[in-house]
Amino acid sequence: MIARRVRDARVYSEIHPYDCDPEFIRKFIQEQGGKGIILSGGPSSVTEEGSPRAPQIVFELGVPVLGICYGMQTMATQLGGAVASAESLGKAREFGYSEVRAHGHTDLLKGIQDFSTSEGHGILKVWMSHGDSVTNLPPEFKLMASTESCPIAGMADEVRRFYAFQFHPEVTHTLQGEEILGRFVHQICGCKPDWVMGDYIAEAVDHIRKQVGDEEVILGLSGGVDSSVAAALIHRAIGEQLTCVFVDHGLLRLHEGDMVMEMFARNLGVKVIRVDAKDQFMSKLAGVADPEAKRKIIGKEFVEIFQTESGKIQNAKWLAQGTIYPDVIESAGKGKKGAHTIKSHHNVGGLPEDMHLKLLEPLRELFKDEVRELGVALGLPREMVYRHPFPGPGLGVRILGEVKAEFASLLQRADAIFIEELRNTIDEVSQKSWYDLTSQAFAVFLPVKSVGVMGDGRTYEYVVALRAVQTQDFMTAHWAHLPHDLL
């Protein structure tokens, strides 16, 4: 999420684990032109033995460093300050909104506030999520921010350009977070706002051509935004060397299979093989209720079909996927220390070692809205690029409990009705449809029945729940306040 906010400021950023090679960090800064380092938050406690620490070289390279939450705590610990756990201080873990008072007129916070008190103190509305707290500042640091429950909520050593916050400027709940991070990367670090999609396309096309050479690429086309943009980008790079395999597992949106074929095969000239695998998937999912187990089964079947289809394509050496940065982050715990796995992802870590295909993931470093921006720049229709996200496992993870064909059919129709109503309902203030005002909306099938009335008769039918959220980054979200008339 921090990297996403830096990208918002049109500055390129990379994410690397805390235990990466110090020599890599040195080369990144001194040879590749890196201008700053941000130490992120995390679920660990610096008071625990063996907890993560920033490589000491971070503080020795002469570039600005910003610590956020855990990043502040490890900065304080490593530079001579002190940190204590909430339990040792007799406090509860702090989670939620808080009001922070700025101190010291630092270059990073000067003039940034949400409101001021009657005494003239600048106040920021921020988001807190921490158990540990800094109790003593390191030498040469001064207080930058505080709250009633967290006396040291920010600290700064402006000579070395080291700054740190206990709150999270990267989340949208911190109202001035974008301004704070923008000031850090532009004014403190001196980065130029030159990260633009036009340049990315040229670089990505060149990289794909060099990486693939004259070999064939096979891509799983789902009809979703990510795989569609990946297909368009790879096709731009290597043309006829790309073959898309569209697996219809019976868990797509209503009429989506025909729409995918119309768009890619007929309109864009991309080679697409359509595989009808509804019965195969339904058979494997029979009797399975656990959502994680369903994800694994769907992913496994998907890969097996790819193995079969790739064997039919001469010189197929590459499997392309629409993996994007949030996919990798969601599955962070599987390959990185110091992060908790939220859920496995169908695009990450699901390939067997004997698949004999190399992996091509041209969107792996991009966030969702960057992928959309890229899709428009590649010439894809805006209505396709700005469709709501749809999971790779499809309706399989939107049906609670066992997946059955009749449940999928019912959910497809219910979801289509919901989306149609969102598209047709216009908000009077913004004059936008509620489909455009929501970031993701969908129906969920619940395996329970409820009594109702239709006309003059009693009904006893399955229940469908409607979900709708609004988000800027697809990492955190608010539920959408849909109007009563629409519901």
Residues with catalytic roles: 69, 168, 170
CA distances from 98 to 83, 165, 217 (A): 20, 13, 50
CA proximity to 6, closest of 184, 138, 126: 184
Residue with tokens 């079909």: 305
Q: Are 68 and 42 within 8 A, CB to CB?
A: no
Amino acid (1-letter code) at residue 208: I
Q: How buried is residue 421: exposed, middle or buried, by Cβ count under 10 Å (0-12/13-18/19+)?
A: middle
Site of tokens 């922070």: 100
Distance CA 380, CA 261 (A): 14
What are the structure tokens assigned to 50, written together?
Answer: 């063996």
CA distance 224 to 274: 15
Selection from 58, 69, 159 nearest residue 106 by Cα: 159
Helix or strand or coil: residue 17? coil
Whose CA is closest to 298, among 287, 313, 314, 282? Answer: 282
The amino acid present at 6, given as its one-letter code, is V
Taking the C-alpha atoms of residue 449 and residue 92, their distance in angstroms, rounded to an integer, is: 42
Amino acid at 215: E
Helix (H, G, I), strand (E, B) or coil at 87: coil
Output the CA–CA distances (angstroms, integers) from residue 193 to 160, 235, 369, in the order listed. 23, 29, 17
DSSP 202: H
The alpha carbon of 287 is separated from its chain's Cα centroid by a whole number of angstroms, namely 31
Amino acid at 122: G
State how far the Cα of 165 lies from the Cα of 428, in Å rounded to an integer.
Answer: 40
Strand partners, 457: 454
Separation between Cα atoms, residue 71 and residue 68, nearest integer Å? 5
Look-up of token digits 């989670």: 95
